[in-house]
Structure formats: C-alpha cells, structure tokens
C-alpha cells in the first residue's frame, strides 16, 4: 500500500482529521466555509469508518459479511451527514444552531435518522436470517455460462443445460424471454440449497419471488437457499450484465409436490443421466466460499 500505510494507521489519520476539522468549526465565519469544513469532517469520519471495516471484516464470520456491508454503508452515510452536524453543535457553531432554529429544523434532522434506525432493526434481523443456510434437504449446483444456465443435482446424479426457448418456438401461454427448454425442478416445501458458480464471466442468479440473488463467479461457490411453499412455475433472470445475450438466459423453476417431484426424478435420471458430479461442498458457508475443483 501507498507509503506502507496499513488500515490501522489510516483509521488513526481519519480519527485525527475528524477531530481536527470538528475543532475548526468555531472558526467558521460563513456558511460556505461551514460546508467545506463539514465536507472535510465527513471525509475524515468516512475514512476512519472505511479503514475500520476491513480490519473488522477479518474478524467476522464470512457468512455475515453482507450484514456488515450494510452497517458499513449506513456508517459511511452518517459520516457525511450526522457526524459533521453533531460536531457543529458540539462545537457551538452558530450556523448549526441557526439551522436547528429554522421552522422544523430539528425535525428534518432527527426524524429521518429515527426512521432509518426503525427500518434498520428489522432489516438487520432479516439479513441475518437470509444469510444463514438452514439444514437443506437437497443441493443443486447452478452454473452460469455465456449464455445459459446449467443445473446439476450431485446426489441424484443428474445434470442438464437450461436454454431459452426462442420466440418462434413458444407454445401458447409460455412467456417470451422467460421460457426455457429444461426448467429447474424442485420439490415444494423443501429447503433447497443452491451453490452458484460460473465458467466464464460473472452472472447473477436472480429469483425475485424467492428473495434469492447470488453472483455466479468463476472459481467460487456462492451459497443460498430457498423453500418454495406453493407448487407452480417461477421465473427469474440473470441480472448481471454478462455479454450480448445477457437478456437470453432466463431462469425457469418448476416447484412440484413431493410425489410429483419423485416421479419427475425417475424420468430425469434416464433423460439427464450425468457424469458423476463432484460432491456438494458442505462447508462452503463456514469457509466463506471455496475453490471448486477443476478450475
Ligand atoms: Cu448472465
């Protein structure tokens, strides 16, 4: 790193800068100067927060990094808004106080903060539960390619490609740009774990109705899970720009009742008999992603 400065030193510089610029606030004479000092305070505080997170990330369990990422973004936003403002108040700056004296001045500062805090509490809880992978009854390997998905059921020893059905081959009732030749079939009311990876560029396996969006990255297995409560057909798309046919690699998932799924499986084992798959890596979450063999 530049001048051999590490994160701890950078954090210290941020804290010193924040303190220094906060102490500068009483010297401010015009509102323009206040804006500049507030911005510099924000950069100092933002720098301190940004340096603290890589340090903290090393100490955190990998499966919760998404939650910490959200905390980081909120801290960064606060660095530029709340911190310099409170700094101004603490420093007794006339402009900060004048702003508060405006009709509703306090309200437009405090109310959004309270709303954010109120939203944050259930969000963090939800993100925590989203990041946990409960005991899954089955695992499916999802692989993104330019430009189609392939699915493998390692335990069931089946694997197949899932390609878009071109518009002129659609049957009545099939939606265009969403219908595939071989949809992914899963049993309903079952915890299904997906391990998402890619063989070329970065894709993203996005199933809005399942609340699942997982990047498909070469050499990494990203883990997610879902449980489809209602049998039916569900659609999703690749939502990471991955090349010229990005819009032509939809995801179609058919959730069947367990008996129907078992029937499908019997046929699928004949139709899609796959070369033995590599065993599903069971410890992906604990290891924070693993290198897939063979890349
Ligand atoms: Cu893609």
Domain containing residue 226: CATH number: 2.60.40.420
Question: Of residues 168 and 62, which shows the higher confidence score?
Answer: 168
The domain boundary residue, chosen from 105, 131, 157 = 131
Q: Does residue 292 lie in a domain region?
A: no
Rounded to 5 degrees, what are φ and ψ at 225?
A: -155, 160
Are 126 and 142 members of one domain? Answer: no
CA torsion, points 251, 256, 258, 262, in degrees to nearest 10? -70
The most confident of 59-63, 97-101, 105-109, 271-275, by mean pLDDT: 271-275
CA angle 164, 166, 169 (to 5 degrees): 120
As a whole number, mean pLDDT of residues 167-196 equals 93
Kindly give the distance from the C-alpha atom of residue 161 to the centroid of ligand 1, in angstroms, as a whole number. 14
Q: pLDDT per residue over 115-174, tens digit each?
A: 878 887 877 777 777 677 778 899 999 999 999 999 999 988 899 999 999 999 999 989
Are 148 and 76 in a shared domain?
no
CA-CA distance, 41 to 21, in Å (whole number)? 5
Measured in angstroms, how far is the CA atom of residue 52 from the centroid of ligand 1? 34
The answer to the question of residue 295 being in a domain is: no
In 220-283, where does DSSP find H-type helix?
A: 258-271
Based on the fold, state whether residues 127 and 193 are members of the same structural domain. no
162 and 111 share one domain:
no
Domain boundary among 103, 131, 159: 131
Rounded CA separation 150/190 (Å): 21
Can you give the residue range of the structural domain that contains 271? 138-287
Residue 293, domain member (yes or no): no
- Among 49, 225, 50, which residue's Cα sits nearest to residue 134? 225
Number of domain units in the chain: 2
pLDDT tens for 49-60 read 888 877 777 776
Report CA(261)–ligand 1 centroid distance (Å).
Answer: 28
CA of 47 to the centre of ligand 1 (A): 34
Residues 8 and 121 in one domain: yes
What's the pLDDT at 151?
95
Quick one: 96 and 151 in the same domain? no
Q: Does 243 lie in the same domain as 192?
A: yes
- Same-domain check for residues 124 and 142: no
pLDDT reported for residue 99: 67
Domain final position from 131, 150, 173: 131
Co-location of 142 and 283 in the same domain:
yes
294 belongs to a structural domain:
no
Residue 214 and residue 185 share a domain: yes
pLDDT of residue 125: 77
- Candidates 156, 147, 288; CA nearest to 204 is 147
Same domain, 153 and 124: no
Stated as kind and residue range, the H or E segment containing 214 is strand 212-216
Alpha carbon of 251 to ligand 1 centroid (Å)? 10
């Amino acid at each position: 790193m530049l001048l051999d400065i590490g994160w701890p030193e950078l954090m210290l510089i941020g804290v010193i800068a924040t303190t220094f610029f906060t102490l500068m606030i009483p010297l401010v004479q015009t509102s323009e100067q206040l804006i500049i000092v507030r911005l510099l305070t924000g950069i100092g505080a933002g720098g301190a927060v940004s340096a603290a997170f890589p340090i903290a990330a090393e100490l955190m369990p990998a499966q919760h990094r998404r939650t910490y990422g959200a905390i980081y973004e909120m801290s960064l936003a606060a660095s530029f808004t709340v911190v310099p403002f409170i700094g101004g108040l603490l420093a007794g700056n006339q402009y900060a106080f004048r702003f508060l004296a405006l009709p509703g001045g306090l309200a437009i500062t405090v109310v959004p903060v309270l709303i954010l805090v109120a939203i944050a509490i259930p969000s963090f809880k939800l993100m925590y539960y989203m990041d946990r992978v409960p005991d899954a009854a089955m695992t499916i390997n999802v692989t993104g390619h330019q430009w189609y998905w392939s699915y493998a059921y390692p335990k069931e020893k089946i694997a197949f490609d899932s390609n878009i059905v071109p518009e002129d081959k659609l049957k009545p009732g099939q939606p265009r740009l969403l219908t595939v030749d071989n949809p992914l079939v899963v049993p309903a009311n079952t915890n299904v774990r997906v391990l998402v990876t890619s063989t070329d560029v970065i894709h993203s396996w996005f199933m809005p109705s399942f609340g699942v969006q997982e990047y498909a990255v070469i050499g990494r297995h990203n883990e997610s899970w879902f449980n489809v409560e209602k049998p039916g057909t569900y659609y999703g798309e690749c939502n990471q720009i991955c090349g010229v046919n990005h819009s032509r690699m939809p995801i179609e998932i058919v959730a069947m009742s367990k008996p129907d799924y078992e029937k499908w499986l019997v046929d699928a084992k004949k139709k899609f008999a796959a070369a033995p798959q590599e065993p599903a890596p069971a410890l992906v979450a604990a290891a924070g992603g693993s290198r897939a063999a063979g890349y």
